[in-house]
Amino acid sequence: MQLDTIDYAILNALQKDGRLANASLAEKVGLSASACSRRLDTLEKSGVIRGYYARVSNKQLGHNLTAIVNLSLSGQFTKTLNEFEAAVKRCPNIVVCYLMSGEYDYTLHVVAKDLADYERIHRDWLTALPHVVKINSSFALREVIDRPNVGIDADLARSV
C-alpha cells in the first residue's frame, strides 16, 4: 500500500495514543473528521495497522522479572521447528520468540512474577519444549527501552 505524509502522521499519532479520538486525530493531521475516518479505515483494512492494544504495567501486575533465553534444537527440519514453535506459542509467559541466525536457533523473552515463578515456568514449560539440546538464560536487570514500534518520525525524515 502507498502511504503519503498524512498517513504517516496518522500512524505516528496512533502509535503514541491508540485511543486518540478520530476528531482529535483529524485535527492533528489537518483533515476533516470524515476524511480521517476513511483513511484510518483503509489503513486498518490494508493491514498497515495490525490492531490496537492496551499496554498493561507488568510491575502493577506483579510481573517483575524478564528473562532472555537462547536455545538450540537438535535439528533444523521443518517438523522439528514446527513442533517447537507450537509448544512455545502455548506458553503465556513467553512474549517474544525469534528464529535466529548465529550461535543459537531461538531467542525467547520470558516474563515472570519473580524468581520462584520463573522456576515454575522453567520447570513446567521450558524444560518441556521439544527438541531443545542447548539452553542459556540471562535475566534482565532493568528495562532501558521498550518501544512499541520503530519510530516513524525518523522514518519519515529519511524516506520523504
Partner DNA sequence: AAAAATTGCGCAATGTCCTTGCAAATTTGG
Partner DNA sequence: CCAAATTTGCAAGGACATTGCGCAATTTTT
Chain residues in the site for DNA (CB under 7 A): 6, 21-24, 30-35, 37-41
Q: How many whole angstroms separate alpha carbon 35 and alpha carbon 33? A: 6
Q: Shortest Cβ distance from residue 118 to its own copies (Å)? A: 12
Helix (H) / strand (E) containing 22 = helix 22-29
Kindly calculate the radius of gyration of the chain based on its CA atoms and give it in whole angstroms.
Answer: 20
Chain positions 29 to 88 lying near its own copies, rule: CB under 8 A, are 46-58, 60-61, 63, 66, 68, 85, 88
31, interface contact from DNA, its own copies, none, CB < 5-8 Å by kind: DNA
Shortest distance, position 16 Cβ to DNA, whole Å: 16
Out of 23, 35, 100, 116, the only residue in the binding site for its own copies (CB under 8 A) is 100
Contacted by 118, from DNA, its own copies, none: CB < 5 to 8 Å by type? none
Contact partners, residue 23, CB within 8 Å, separation at least 6: 33
Which of 4, 78, 79, 147 binds its own copies (CB under 8 A)? It is 147
Q: Cα torsion at 86, 87, 89, 94 (round to 10°)? A: -150
